[in-house]
Structure 1
Amino acid sequence: MLHAYVTTSPGLARLGQQSPTDPRPDLERAIWVDLYRPLDSQVAAVVALGVDVPSLADMEEIEISNRLYREEGTDVMTVVLPGHLPDGRQIAGPVSFILNGRRLVTVRHHEPRSFATYPERAARTTPGCRSPERIFLGLVEEIVARLADLLEGVGRGLDTVSARVLGEAGPAELKASLGEVGRLGELLGQIRLALLTLERALSFYDQTLAGHAQGHELRPIAKALMRDIAALAVHNDFLSSRVSLSVDATLGMINLQQNNTVRILSVVAALFLPPTLIASAYGMNFPNMPELRQSWGYPFALALMLASAVGTWAFFKWKKWL
């Protein structure tokens, strides 16, 4: 899928659907071209503009030299952002920003929500959208805001889980809470990776602003975004510690419930131990057992077993073990 945008007085306007046979006339006007799971024809159309489009395998390379580099005046920056696949699964996937003096090209194979919300908000972002560089910084600002929203959502989720775990939650609820905490922890890991790669990309971009005509205007914006990212990283670490605490609390509650079950079984076993001992003694087939020949022998054995059980129960109550 290919989305192309031009700058208008209100902000960004999306160009019409590109013709499969000749998509270049509209693309020549575009200031931002967004490639989402692009077809070969769409990649070829962007390549015809003089922009090399990396493949998914290239974008997934973890070497920093493959993710951040400048080639013939074009900056290529690849970051890892949380988003969704077409089937709805949440993943952290690579997104490439290809920036030159004429346009910004983004390449992605999943759907970070920021790319859907940014075009309508482009004019209201701090950098604006008058140039490719400002669109890049505005898009990063939208991504940072989205990551902040995700962190707030994780915080609210942890509040809900903590209230449930520390309340009167049953085994099924505790199991569900443990799964929810695991999902939130995985999302935090994706957000932390996004913040790390964004910080690297902005640091790389900041170094290229020295010879840029708008460098004195764009550098404060880039610096402010890096400060925001650093603050979100601290918040992410705080929420990670809360995830660990929630996991420990959930496992502790599960252990307490299991201990209560084992405690009941232990008490029942202890109550039946003396009667079992008495029954075992009278089950011995020795010739000299006077009680076996008495009419009161059977009731006496039953009464003795009952008394031993009651005595054991009274002893446990006296020790406050029950």
Structure 2
Amino acid sequence: MMTSYAVRDGRLALRDGVLAPEQIAEAVWIDLLNPTPEEERAVQEALRLEIPTREEMQEIESSSRLYREDEALFLTANFLYGVEGGEYGSTPITFVLSNQALVTVRYATPKAFSVFSLRCQRSPGLVSTPDAVMLHLFEQIVDRLADILERVGSDMDRASSASFRSARTKVKADKRDHDLREALITLGEVGEVTTRTNETLLGLTRILSFVSAEKATVIRKDNQVLIKTLVRDVRSLVDHAGFLNNKATFLLDAVLGILNVEQNAIIKTFTVASVALMPPTLIASIYGMNFRHMPELEWPWAYPAALGLMVVAAVLPIAYFKRKGWL
């Protein structure tokens, strides 16, 4: 799907679908979502730019992701998407920046794109120039990543508090196991999201560094300050994501330690029970042998004596364990 953004008389002109060459030429931002061959061909012929294919966008070497052709910059990075629905992942998005227009090529929709599109409709000044569109879109992406990191940090705090509270207080085993399981799932999601967030921030860092080093004429002087601000924001988010990742690792070790303690207590209970039942089992085994001459078989009080001996043999190990503080 092709969506074009242009400004006419201070108002935003938004068009969808395949456009005529003159309509593409007057657009400031052209957003291609799952573009068809016809849409790609129309943009390439109108702007005289080569739109990268999906296979080219997925290449990992820097020379294929960040390069310059004449005065146009081709910038590709992986971006996090789908966090709201739980089906999150990373998708490559290409920004083709020229003096004439900004072309974005993508095959998924990070929420920052939807939010920025609505902002452009409310504030057409954001679509004044192609470089301003790209940098303001980067701003929106950074803001969105900051919200995601804040949310996963809050989720991690709630999960860890619930699991530690259940471990300290006397609650039902099912409730404690549920809290610990939820904590493990949440910490796993935090690690996954922060890793993909770091990947997005790394891609933005490379793009901003490349744009600054190229001294491209497509970036106007009044937008250079915005690049510096973006670089500072990205660095602060990288540090925060690293902090959350380290905290998640620490909490994961702590929750696994709690689970190990619970499992050790269960194993200790079974061990004590097996040790306590060994002497009674031995006594029962002795008097269960089918020998003809066993003097105790003739005693009238032999059966209750054997039962009492088995009880004493079971109680003595338990009393010894309690005296030693092992129970």
Q: Answer yes or no: same fold by TM over 0.5.
A: yes
In structure 2, what residue type is equivalent to 1:73?
E
Name the residue aligned to 1:5: 5
The C-alpha deviation readout for 1:186-245, integer Å capped at 9, x for no partner, is: 111110000001000001111233656733x22221111111111111111100101111
In structure 1, what residue type is equivalent to 2:5?
Y
- Aligned-pair Cα RMSD in Å: 2.3
In structure 1, stretches of 5+ residues that fail to align are: none
TM-score, normalised to structure 2, is 0.89
In structure 2, stretches of 5+ residues that fail to align are: 167-174
Q: Aligned with 2:16: secondary structure? A: coil
Q: CA deviation at 1:287?
A: 5.5
The C-alpha deviation readout for 1:247-294, integer Å capped at 9, x for no partner, is: 212212222222222122112212211111221222344555321211
- Within the alignment, does 1:160 sit opposite 2:158 as a pair? yes
**1 CA distance for matches of 2:86 and 2:285?**
64
Name the residue aligned to 1:203: 209
Distance 1:272 1:213, change over 3 A: closer
Percent of paired sites with the same residue: 35
**2 CA distance for matches of 1:212 and 1:111?**
26
Name the residue aligned to 1:17: 16
Range with bigger deviation, 90-99 or 129-138: 129-138
Task: Verify the 8 A CA contact 2:71 2:218 in the aligned structure 1.
Answer: no
Distance 1:172 1:14, change over 3 A: farther
Which of residues 307, 310, 321 is equivalent to 2:312? 307
Name the residue aligned to 1:242: 247
Name the residue aligned to 1:47: 44
- Within the alignment, does 1:266 sit opposite 2:263 as a pair? no
Q: CA deviation at 1:8?
A: 5.3
1:48-127 to 2 correspondence within 5 Å?
48-49=45-46, 50-84=48-82, 89-122=87-120
- Within the alignment, does 1:170 sit opposite 2:176 as a pair? yes
Name the residue aligned to 1:319: 324
In structure 2, what residue type is equivalent to 1:94?
P
Name the residue aligned to 1:189: 195
Range with bigger deviation, 176-185 or 73-82: 176-185
**1 CA distance for matches of 2:92 and 2:219?**
29
Q: Aligned with 1:38: secondary structure? A: coil
TM-score, normalised to structure 1, is 0.90
Distance 1:105 1:205, change over 3 A: same
Distance 1:280 1:14, change over 3 A: farther
Task: Verify the 8 A CA contact 1:122 1:135 in the aligned structure 2.
Answer: no
Task: Verify the 8 A CA contact 1:73 1:100 in the aligned structure 2.
Answer: yes
Q: CA deviation at 1:179?
A: 2.1
Q: Aligned with 1:30: secondary structure? A: coil
Distance 1:129 1:260, change over 3 A: same
In structure 1, what residue type is equivalent to 2:309?
L
- Within the alignment, does 1:230 sit opposite 2:235 as a pair? yes
Q: Aligned with 2:300: secondary structure? A: coil
Name the residue aligned to 1:131: 129
Name the residue aligned to 2:172: none
Range with bigger deviation, 88-97 or 167-176: 167-176
In structure 2, what residue type is equivalent to 1:185?
G
Task: Verify the 8 A CA contact 1:31 1:103 in the aligned structure 2.
Answer: yes
Distance 1:245 1:118, change over 3 A: same
Q: Aligned with 2:165: secondary structure? A: coil
Q: Aligned with 1:82: secondary structure? A: strand
**2 CA distance for matches of 1:189 and 1:309?**
55
Task: Verify the 8 A CA contact 1:181 1:247 in the aligned structure 2.
Answer: yes
Range with bigger deviation, 283-292 or 259-268: 283-292
Q: Aligned with 2:15: secondary structure? A: coil
**2 CA distance for matches of 1:285 and 1:186?**
66
Q: Aligned with 1:111: secondary structure? A: coil
Task: Verify the 8 A CA contact 2:116 2:137 in the aligned structure 1.
Answer: yes
The C-alpha deviation readout for 1:69-95, integer Å capped at 9, x for no partner, is: 01011000001101139x973110100
Distance 1:236 1:213, change over 3 A: closer
Q: CA deviation at 1:317?
A: 1.9
**2 CA distance for matches of 1:247 and 1:302?**
50
